[in-house]
Structure 1
Amino acid sequence: YQAVTLSISDITSRKRIELSLIERERFWSEVVRSVPDLLYVHDMQNQQVLFSNHSLGLQLGYSVGELKAMAGDFWEQVLHPDDSDYYWRIRNLQKVVGDGLLLESVLRWRHRDGQWRWFSIREQALARDDRGRVSRLIGVAKDITEQIERNQSLRDSEQRYRLLAESISDVIVSTDDSLNLNYVSPSVEAMLGYDAEWVTTNGLQGLAANPQQLASLYQLLERIRDSLGERDRLECLREELPDQLFVFDCLRADGHKIPVELRLVLMWDENGRFGGILGVGRDISQQRRAEKDLRMAATVFEHSNAAILVTDPAGYIVQVNKAFSRVSGYSAGQVLDQLPGMLTADRQQAAHLQYILGQLNQRGSWEGEVWLKRKGGENFPAWVGITAVHDEEGDLVSYVCFFSDISERKASEQRIHRLAYHDALTHLPNRTLFQDRLHSALQHAERHDEWVVLMFLDLDRFKPINDSLGHAAGDRMLKDVAVRLSACVDGDDTVARMGGDEFTLLLQPRATREGALNRAIHVAEQILSSLARPFVLEGREFFVTASIGIALAPQDGNELSQLMKNADTAMYHAKERGKNNFQFYQADMNASALERLELESDLRHAQEQGQFVLYYQPQFSGDGCRLTGVEALLRWSHPIRGLVPPDEFIPVLEELGLVVQVGEWVLEEACRQLKAWHEEKIRIPKISVNLSARQFAEGDLTTRIAAILTRTEVPPACLEVELTESILMRDVDSAMQTLSELKHLGLCIAVDDFGTGYSSLNYLKQFPIDVLKIDRSFVDGLPDGEQDAQIARAIIAMAHSLNMMVIAEGVESHAQLDFLREHGCDEVQGYLLGRPMPARQLTAQFSGAALFILS
């Protein structure tokens, strides 16, 4: 070294400056770091981010290293594609602009998690090149995503509420915080006929039909207006007036008034400041009408003369009116939560109730006449209407039932009907009703191939009595005649007064011409006999007779007018024959009638003259080898006619009322004969006697039979009584009682003609029956008739299962006997084994050894 030059300079000042700069840089660096906004410096030449603060990475989710790595393509990675073109166009302009603000916009940047966030961007020039162009710029970004979303939510909410306000029928109105009307929903035009702009301009006072009705509304507005500048008073209003309701009449644009309900609420912002008034106006015309209808319905319900009850869908009563209690006798408390069945009369048929329910299900309502029952048990006719009530969805909510007592109306209708169809004097059917019944009878008879009897009756010698004693006495006689005529016929026959002293009779149809003829003869005889008794008028006896004409359909005409004309002709023929008689329209029937009269006359004397005799038909064991009993059969030994078959005279005995008397004679004679056989050592175990329906219905039948058994000294076990199925089924309860009495007496009970009637097997099981008798109609077809064979086998099996014996009647061939024996029939009778015969013949045939050995 030649020399070292040392220069020492005092750099304290410079160091102090450097330290100050370092300190200042550290300070501003910390300031930039702590600023919550995003700061960045962008190089315009190479389009790179030269600097970004900590907040940028923090808010976008990138680390410092990631930000450095993406410095060259930062904008390509974070800018939203829709904002990119706009941003770069602005950048190109930034190069040539002067000082001041270069960009202020709202852009979307992508977060590291892929979501887009909104940022408010503000960029300014930081440096320029030598040509004055911006070379660097500094940007400040602020995350406004939540603000954007809040604003969008607010806009969406406002849009929804606006759409709601515009779509509902109610009118929405609002004011600003100065109470100036600032919104009216478009629905005001549909309600009132004014558009929203007109209402906004003219206010509510332009709508009021009666401004006085708005006085309370104006008072509220005035109170609010006075409180606008005073927060304390507004707070009081907020507590006192959560909402207010006003009702007033609005005048529509077409001049009609409608009632409107306006509900107002005070609006407050989130800071508790008054924001205006919100109102909802509603047309309450329909509500007013509904309220009016409800008031009217309630008035009708409570004051109606008709009883009304309301039930729930299950049928339980939930409400009744006063008339219900008055008509039914039940108080409301006694029927609530009960079923209406307590009102149903016992006579009401279950099938009819099911029909009513069916109508309710199908049509929703039913109306008609039914019988109901009061609390005290009294039945009464009622007119009832029932309606099913449904809600808007069609679901059943209740049943409404009204009913009224129509007893008086029914009585009035019956009185009117009686006046229209019955004779005022005798109360018999008049000509109109009689012709209606005759017409119906002719139609029925034609359909069923039956015979109808029509009788015309005219009193003989009534006019002189009526003229001499006066009409009052004549009327009394006619009323007495009506009573006597009615007593000569059955309940289903018709006696009518045609006018004056003319009467007509319609007898119920008969299956055969002979049956109709016999019935007509019997009734005509009864009438003539009844009228033969004297009529007592004014303390004196008077006598009248009658001429009767009889016509039968179809032989004398199927037409009503023709039949009546022919009966009238026959009646005049009776008058020509000397009156006090009856004549048929057909001459041959008069001969039959004469023969019938003679038969009746002879029958009346047959018993006292000893013309009735008993024949006895033997009954055998099932193999036909052993005599087990006899059946007593009534015969009429007429001195001229000879032996009259029973089917010719027994029905006449029934009509003449002699069958009980003759039947008792048969019982006693049969028992007397059995006793005689026993005394002669003829071993006949039992005797069977048929009982008629009238005999069986006599109340003292058991007593009479017991007396006969005592008189004849016949053990009860030796007497068997035979009854038909129809007799037993006519009155089951009474038959059960009588059979029990006969069984208690010790008799054997048999059912005759079994299989031809309609007896229930249940009753058959309960009746104390010992023997079933197979009818001859089934035996006739044996053994070849498959159906008859099946019936016979079934009867035998059934009887044995019920511990009954079986006897078959009408056995006329060995093949029939073999079939019955093979299938276990207990006893048989018929022409093959023995015909009905007098007692002396049976005595000769079955005495001694012949009793057990038959050829």
Structure 2
Amino acid sequence: MRARKCRAVRESSTISAHLCAIGQPVSSHRSSRFYVESPVFSRPGAHFRDRPLWRRANGAMLCAAVGATPVRTSNDKQHRCAVRPRGQRPRPEQPAIRARPFVRRQREPRMKQIFRIPRYLMVGASVMLLTTLVTGLAVLLLHVEPVTNFASQPLPTVLMALLVLGCGVAAGVAAAVVQRHREDIRGVVAAVEALEEGELDTWPPAPFDGDLGQLAQAFRRLQQRLKKLTVSRNYLDQVLASMQDALLLVGADGRIKRVNPAACELLEATESELLGRPVVELIAPAQRAQFGGERRPDPRGEAIMLSLRGREVPVAYTWSPIEATEPDLSGAIIAVRDITERKLADRRIRYLARIDALTKVPNRMQFQHLLQRAIARARRAHGHVALLYVDIDRFKDINDTFGHAAGDAALETLARRVTNLLPSGAFMGRLAGDEFGVVLFPREPVRPDNGELGRLVQRIRRAVGEVLLVQGHELYISVSIGIAGFPTDADNVLDLIRNADAALYEAKSAGGNRVEYYRPEMNAAQVERLILKSQLRRSYELDELLINYQPKVSVRSGRIAGAEALVRWDLSEHGLILPSEFIPLAEETNLILEIGEWVLNRVCADYAEWRRHGSQPGRISVNLSLKQLAQPNFSRRIGRILKRHGITPECLELELTETTLMADPERTIAVLRELHDMRLHLAIDDFGTGYSSLSALQKFPISTLKIDQSFVANAASDADDATMIATMVDMAHRMHMEVVAEGVESEEQLSLLRRLDCDYVQGLLFGEPMSARAYRDLIDAQRDGTDSYRALFG
């Protein structure tokens, strides 16, 4: 297109045409032949520049600048040729000043350089010759006589010849000087034009003298200064182009004057599309007021920008004004950063702060907030609010048996099924691991006889109870529900949740899969429970717990074979509290670990004291909880306690329930084998009340089986219980275990157990659990033959 404009030809005629086919250079020290045959256009990588006078195709003359630059192609022989009218500036999209290396012309052969005559000498010689001829001819014509009388008067003729020659020499010298200065001036003009066009490394190699030399040196200094500024500007351009943040240079009129590539990418536009555009057009309409008019935007802030494709982009910006005396130089520079990812992360954080990630229902904090608003609306409208506190029964068994993935699936299913049943306005939230809250708005007060509320609760229970497929297994889950209402049971959020929780605890205590409505006495039980928790820790810290021993008697000999250590808590205002009441409290607070270790130390200390007194206490049994067995290095803890008191492992027997054994069978087997290797005796307590199988029971290194007292209580009068005991005794003996029957309270029970070949018995028939001192006296009396048990076995 540019070749067509310069040469006044059609664009199609320039394609594949030779340079000279476009036009002919008519005023240049290079001829047309140079542009055809010059090795510059045949040597790869060569550069070339010239400024000839060209004749257009239409005959018009054009003073142009020609430049050829190599273009990297497959054959590496093509050049990009530019023909530009002299004085015409570069295209707007190109920088006004650009550093380009100066390439010297091809050096001529040295001999040719030696015999080459400078142009100004040739001009001077020509002028001298011409002037001499013209002057001589004029003198000859005007003064013919002195020339014809040369022989008689030679002096005038010689003087006249010298005058003619002197005029010619003077004219030649003057012409040479003038030509030299003209060439120097043209060189300076060409260098200045090159400087104007951005060719900062181009300068005539010949030195200049006099005033012209000073002018040339001044231009050279200007050239060097511009070169340094260009290098700095190019470096600045590279820095701006490499920045990740978008930069927009805005003029005083609010229009964009310059952008970097990051801005083009952010706004999905080219540089030409952004230049000259008002920056306010790139701001979302709702925020344009703070960027338009005379009001200056905040130095830092956030905004929504619009790309040229219509996409909204959240950004953080920094607005830095540019103060200048000249209006054209004032404005502002805006640094913009895309914060889309940060906004998405913030939105995700806000969502997770309010919504449970697993079940997609409000979490406890958001649920309490929604409940507070619901109570406020009900108070203004004199309405009612029902809070259902829902808990999955035996949820831990699902996790332990099928893994946490199954537990998560159960929670998700429950939340989805309940949410689908809720009427308009009602909502559900997750309060804890497997605990949920459901808020309903019944028309009648929240009471057990509220039919509307009761029907919805039953629908929830049926929906939750439907089969659940987990890992190819069909599971049936049930829930326990505690219900409290506003304003009948509480008038604020915390009391309403606490009362519903108390009702839920009542439902769980009754066996689960139940619905309980709150009653005021439930709070009293909850308060008492909390008080007992705090008092239990205080009693433990003050060493107010007691250890009593219940003798274990041999059925065959009637002698005391050992005892079971039982923990007792004697609270002054409550009296004696049984282990079945306070041990669950200790497990809830993890105080069971400290109490368990205290019991082991106390039993070993009592045993050592009995030994020092000369008594033979037999084997003492100590109960273990699941949390104790789950402690790391539990067997080492037992070993350290025995070593501290100087007791051999054979003196102790550790009792575990079936539930404890089957909670984590693989780990339990490993721990029990370590204890068995230490020569400790192991016993199953309350056998028959759990869910262990005989095949699983064979894997444990158990030496004693203890029959639960629920089988012994009616064995003397109930043939079925007697048969069960006989079966368990026979099975234990076949597995090489000893059998202990618990809860023996009558002689009839003792007689039956003797007939069934039971090994040991213990119970109230042989007295109440006693202190360590009373137990020592009992075994001493047996040694002296003064005990009262022997008569029962006569």
- Fold similarity call, TM over 0.5: no
Counting strand residues as a fraction of each chain, which structure ranks higher? 1
TM-score class, shorter-chain normalisation, is 0.3 to 0.5
TM normalised by structure 2 equals 0.39
Q: Which has the larger radius of gyration?
A: 1
